[in-house]
Amino acid sequence: MDDEKIIALYWDRSEEAISQTSEKYGRYCRAVAYSILKSAEEAEECTNDTYLRAWNAIPPAKPNNLRTFLGKITRNLSLNRWEKLSAEKRGGGEVSVVLDELAECVPSSDDTESAAEDALIRDALDRFLKGLPRETRKIFIRRYWYMSPIKEIAEEFGFTENKVSVALYRTREKLRKTLEKEGILL
Amino acid sequence: MMKNERLLRLFNDIDEKHIEEAVPTVKKARRRWVKWAALAACLCLILVGAFAFGKDKAPVLTPNDSAASGVATLYNDKIYIALISLEECKAVGLPETVTEDVIGEHLAFMKLDGGVADYVEASGETDIELYACTVNTTREVLILRDGEAFWPIVRIEK
């Protein structure tokens, strides 16, 4: 079913909205959640929570791209869940490794956080990504948005794992320099 | 929140285009199916080919090759000439369809010569080989291979 039609179901408050969403994007959301949580059960739960969130958000939201709208919710929920789980049991899994990798991009700073800074960082990230060559950008996003293991990325793109690691390393360096240059302190 | 966690979180809100562009494809499952289907198709082709052509398989040896007409080979002080027709082959007891199983052990490497015979023994390795013949023939037969062409050659008295 067309995204537009599905969104219309949400606006009509028809329960069919959820079943249609689940049919079309259930697998995608579970995959996003699974990459982070490495548990089919947890992934299923986060996916169901995503539908609920979507139901509450639409209306008034009218997403242009339903897939990524849902994906972002799932990723966020999954990261929340991951934090909770890892607080209980130390480390392991893809997210730890990814966090370690990202630590390289973080220029030194003080500890203040603010919503205004968040907006700046988001902007900088978008501009940074736009300036990357397409393949590099895809690999970067697969790693840091989807949190796919390097092996999986290498297989899908037909590269060696080494090539993927090196590409990611160089791009992280680039990101760090970009953030530093823009005076963004995390 | 730790700084790298904050970066990871903020990464959530990047432009949708980029997220969409990098959607993982369900390629793996599909790829496996395609691989198996291709394998099965190849197997079918091989089976069909073997069945269809097995009986009338083109002989590996080429006795009807007029290019071999009169070709003489000198080996161990004996002269052999190429059998160039199926009648001649049958006359010495070679099967009608001459195939690989007729080829026996390697005897020598040969080379072209302009003297008494067209082929003589070579001192080193060449792409022309002489083999024994595994079939019990009425006269002494060897198999000569020149590149891709095979000829049965029969000894003649000088």
Spatial contact of A9 and A57, defined as CB atoms under 8 Å apart = no
What number is the average pLDDT over the span A87-94? 65
Least confident of A43-47, A69-73, A82-86, A160-164: A82-86
What's residue B53's pLDDT?
64
Beta bridge partners of B121: B110
For residue B156, what are the CA distances in angstroms to A22, B86, B108?
Answer: 86, 18, 19
**B16 contacts in A (CB within 8 Å)?**
64-65, 68-69
Give, in order, the Cα–Cα distances in Å from A62 to each of A3, A7, A25, A169, B17: 10, 7, 17, 37, 16
pLDDT at B54: 58
Q: Which residue of B has its CA nearest to A72?
A: B12
**Which tops the pLDDT comparison, A65 or A108?**
A65
Q: Do B22 and A141 touch (CB under 8 A)?
A: yes
Looking at the DSSP bridge assignments, the partners of residue B153 are B82, B142
User: What's the rounded mean pLDDT across residues A132-143?
Assistant: 94
pLDDT reported for residue A90: 57
For the cut 90, the answer to whether the pLDDT of residue B117 exceeds it is no
Query: Do residues A38 and A77 touch, judged by C-beta distance below 8 A?
Result: no
SS3 call for A44? helix
Report pLDDT digits (tens) over B47-87: 887 777 655 544 455 555 555 566 788 898 888 888 877 78
- Alpha-helical (H) ranges within A89-158 are 93-103, 115-130, 134-144, 150-157
Band (B1; pLDDT cuts 50, 70, 90): low
Q: How far apart are CA B86 and CA B58, in angstroms?
A: 13
With an 8 Å Cβ cutoff, the interface of chain A facing chain B consists of 27-28, 31, 64-65, 67-69, 71-72, 75-76, 79, 83, 95, 98-100, 102-103, 105-106, 109, 113, 118, 121-122, 125-126, 129-130, 134, 137-138, 141-142, 144-146, 148, 152, 155-156, 186
Average pLDDT over residues A50-70: 93
Bigger pLDDT: B63 or A113?
A113
Tokens matching residue A153: 């990325």
Verify cis geometry, omega within 30 degrees of 0, for the bond prior to A107.
no
pLDDT surpassing 70 at residue A55: yes
pTM, to two decimals:
0.55
Least confident of A9-23, B5-19, B112-126: B112-126
CA distance A12 to A50: 19
Backbone angles phi, psi at B129, to 5 degrees: -125, 150
In order of A110, B100, B130, the CA distances from B152 in angstroms are 91, 12, 10
**Cβ contact B7–A186 (<8 Å):** yes
Inform me whether the pLDDT recorded for A117 exceeds 60. Answer: yes
- Is the pLDDT at A183 greater than 50, yes or no? yes
Summarize pLDDT for A17-38 with one digit per residue, the tens.
Answer: 999 999 999 999 999 999 999 9
B149 against B116, higher pLDDT: B149
Question: Tokens at residue A150, please?
Answer: 């390097």
In whole angstroms, give the CA distance from residue B85 to residue B69. Answer: 10
Q: Are strands B78-82 and B103-112 parallel, antiparallel or unpaired?
A: unpaired
**ipTM computed for the complex:** 0.78
Q: What pLDDT score does B152 carry?
A: 87
Q: What is the mean pLDDT of chain A?
A: 88
In angstroms, the CA A144 to CA A171 distance is 11
Nearest chain A CA: its distance from B31 CA (Å): 11
Contact A121 B8 (CB under 8 A): no
Band (A170; pLDDT cuts 50, 70, 90): very high
Q: Residue B58: what pLDDT?
A: 41
Average pLDDT estimate for A144-153 = 94
Interface test with B, best of A70, A80, A99, A114 (most B CBs within 10 A): A99
